[in-house]
Amino acid sequence: MRNGRRAAISGLAEWAPQRRWDTPMFGLEAYGKLAREALDDAGMEPGEIDGILCTRLGDAPMFAPAAVAEYLGIAANYGEVVDLGGANAAAMVWRAAAAIEAGVCEACLCLLPSVPAPPQPGVKPSTRGWMLGADAWGAPHGQFDAPYGLINPNSHFAMVAQRYRYEYDLEPRTLAKIAVQGRENALLNPKAIFRDQPITIDDVLNSPMVVDPLRLLEIVMPCAGGAGVVVTTLDRARRTGLRPVVVSGFGEHITHKSITYAPSLTQIPIVAAADRAFAMAGVGREAIDVASMYDCYTITVLLTIEDSGFCAKGDGGRFVEEHDLRFGGDWPLNTHGGQLGMGQGGAAGGMSHVIDVVTQLQGRAGPRQVGSAERGYVTGTGGFMSEQVALVLEGA
Amino acid sequence: MADSPPRILPKPTPATAPFWEAAREHRLLLPLTADGEPYFYPRAFSPGSLDPETEWVEGSGRGVLYSYTVDRRGTSPAFAARAPYVIGIVELEEGPRLTTNIVGCAIEDVRIGMAVEAVYEDVDGEVTLVLFRPA
């Protein structure tokens, strides 16, 4: 608590990820639609919003917060474009909480629309998105990594997994278990793209090798989607119909862009982010009832468990083997199915983890409810294990 | 295939041109920090100290394979025709790591920790890429 004010997450909005999105919307339209849904969820009015957090929008590639304020017809006391990839969601939540606790603003939208825009007549859509900025003139990534094929996340994360297997004991079955148990959770999530497709460990181990040692079913399915939350003062959040979820600890750590230049391939940035988040929250790892960890790949989850301090370094594999990670298990993780089970709704993928834990703490997870959860842990991972954010969330 | 994207080649900038010019002569040039430590990739400022004085040293071209993956599908369009191929991170004898491809051996024989040496691929008259093969 800073300045006597605390910040809490309240309303939620989440669209089911889809491989093909049949209702194209401009970024500002999608932002507005998510805003309406998240505010309705909390029973709040648009005029109460005075903080805007967004990422770059196709129809507002510059001055995005101003474009959002104008489009939504609100005046903001805080506006920010967050560019931390998969860590954006968790990063937005702590930035909003910090701004609110500092007294800068009262209620923030943290929204990540990620749906295709209507096609522009006469213009072929750009096919350069897969370069992820490496084709920009002067980009180091473009000169020293892209010519060798190190461009998209698959190969970066594969090299993390490969090095981890060299330094520590890790059986392919253990990584497969992460995908399988996430999928079991997804079977009860009506928004999950794989809600009708259970898988076994053998299915994972027999799925095609894509980037050694990662197989197809260990790799997230790219989708379109959209999701977001309202963060406001604890006082205002108490006057909604929803249990306020206090942002009680947070941390962020950024060390590299390309995995080649990471300080370590096997000790990831979440170490510092988690230590800061737990110290700020004043609780230990054992206080966590439910966790939701960014799962672009199975290896991301294993390393995040380990480097968040839930077990000793190198014991991540044993931890996964010894615990039941399903929503009814002894260590519920990614109870929405994870992005591996739900589909990665583009930029919204990271928000699915925030919403997963908030939904549990608000007691709204329906058949996936873990019981009376009081405290949750959320991580976001952006770039190529480049930037990570940890959140400790607490029901009020 | 006419529609396949062109190969991605480095476009040297003033700060990186010495590295790529040396590569054309089949030499591996490494930038040095003010303390004389080699680093990679070349920058206008050495990372950490932000020293603008860039000195260079010629590297041995030897190192060990630090990690690798096999891109089975050409996960980026420009590489689809080359798949499967090995993307690797080599830790040079001098310390820094760099991104490369491992060539000159069967994919099944690639191992982390294997000794490797630089081999130069003259792509055209302008650009030479630095690859590695088993030493």
Note down pLDDT in tens along chain A; length 396 residues. 456 899 999 999 999 999 999 999 999 999 999 999 999 999 999 999 999 999 999 999 999 999 999 999 999 999 999 999 999 999 999 999 999 999 999 999 999 999 999 999 999 877 777 788 888 999 999 999 999 999 999 999 999 999 999 999 899 999 999 999 999 999 999 999 999 999 999 999 999 999 999 999 999 999 999 999 999 999 999 999 999 999 999 999 999 999 999 999 999 999 999 999 999 999 999 999 999 999 999 999 999 999 999 999 999 999 999 999 999 999 999 999 999 999 999 999 999 999 999 999 999 999 999 988 999 999 999 999 999 999 999 999
Q: Is the dihedral of CA A54, A56, A58, A61 positive or negative?
A: positive
Residue A328 token pair: 């009814």
pLDDT for res B2: 45
The model carries a pTM of 0.97
Least CB–CB distance from B68: residue in A127, A151, A159: A159
Q: Which residues of B touch A135 (CB under 8 A)?
A: 8
- Cβ pair B87:A155 closer than 8 A: yes
CA distance A235 to A125: 46
Q: From its phi and psi, is residue A73 left (phi > 0), alpha (psi between -120 and 50) or beta?
A: left
- Cβ pair B69:A155 closer than 8 A: yes
DSSP H/E element including A97: helix A88-101
Q: Which residues of B touch A131 (CB under 8 A)?
A: 76
Topology, domain A7-118+220-395: Peroxisomal Thiolase; Chain A, domain 1 (3.40.47)
Q: Name the residue of chain A whose CA is nearest to B74's CA.
A: A149
What SS3 class is residue B97? strand
Residues belonging to chain B with any Cβ–Cβ distance to chain A shorter than 8 Å: 7-13, 16, 40-41, 43, 66-77, 79, 82, 85, 87, 89, 97-101, 112-113, 129, 131
Cα Rg of chain A (Å, integer): 20
Decide the pairing of beta strands A78-81 and A51-54. parallel
Q: Name the residue of chain A whose CA is nearest to B85's CA.
A: A149
CA distance B107 to B23: 25
Whether chain B has a CB inside 8 Å of the CB on A130: the answer is yes
Instruction: Report the residue of A130, A148, A215 to disrupt the B interface, i.e. the one with the largest count of B CBs within 10 Å.
Output: A148
What are the domain boundaries of chain A? 7-118+220-395
- Cβ pair A166:B85 closer than 8 A: no
- Cβ pair A209:B41 closer than 8 A: no
CA distance A228 to A115: 14
DSSP H/E element including B21: helix B17-24
- Cβ pair A143:B67 closer than 8 A: no
Q: Which residues of A touch B10 (CB under 8 A)?
A: 142-144, 147
pLDDT for res A127: 72
Residues 6+ apart with CB under 8 A from A224: A17, A18, A19, A20, A21, A114, A115, A116, A345, A346
Least CB–CB distance from B101: residue in A131, A134, A148: A148
Q: Name the residue of chain A whose CA is nearest to B43's CA.
A: A140
Provide the shortest C-alpha distance from residue A210 to chain B (in Å): 5
| A190-219 residues touching B, CB cutoff 8 A | 208-214
- What is the CB neighbour count within 10 angstroms for residue A328? 14
Q: Find, among A289, A253, A290, A292, the residue nearest to A378 by Cα.
A: A292
* Beta-ladder partners of A387: A254, A382
Q: Which residues of B touch A261 (CB under 8 A)?
A: 40-41, 97
- The per-residue b/e assignment along A351-361, b for 16 or more CB within 10 angstroms, e otherwise, is bbbbbbbbbbb
Whether chain B has a CB inside 8 Å of the CB on A133: the answer is no
pLDDT for res B1: 42
Instruction: Report the residue of B30, B71, B108, B130 to disrupt the A interface, i.e. the one with the largest count of A CBs within 10 Å.
Output: B71
Looking at residue A194, what DSSP letter applies? T
- Mean pLDDT, all residues of chain B: 93
Size of interface A-B (CB pairs under 8 A): 105
Express each pLDDT in B5-28 by its tens digit. 678 899 999 999 999 999 999 999
Is omega for the bond preceding A244 within 30 degrees of 0, making it cis?
Answer: no
pLDDT for res A389: 98
Whether chain B has a CB inside 8 Å of the CB on A263: the answer is no
- DSSP per position, A232-269: EEHHHHHTSSS--EEEEEEEEEE--SSGGG-S-SSS-T
Whether chain B has a CB inside 8 Å of the CB on A151: the answer is yes
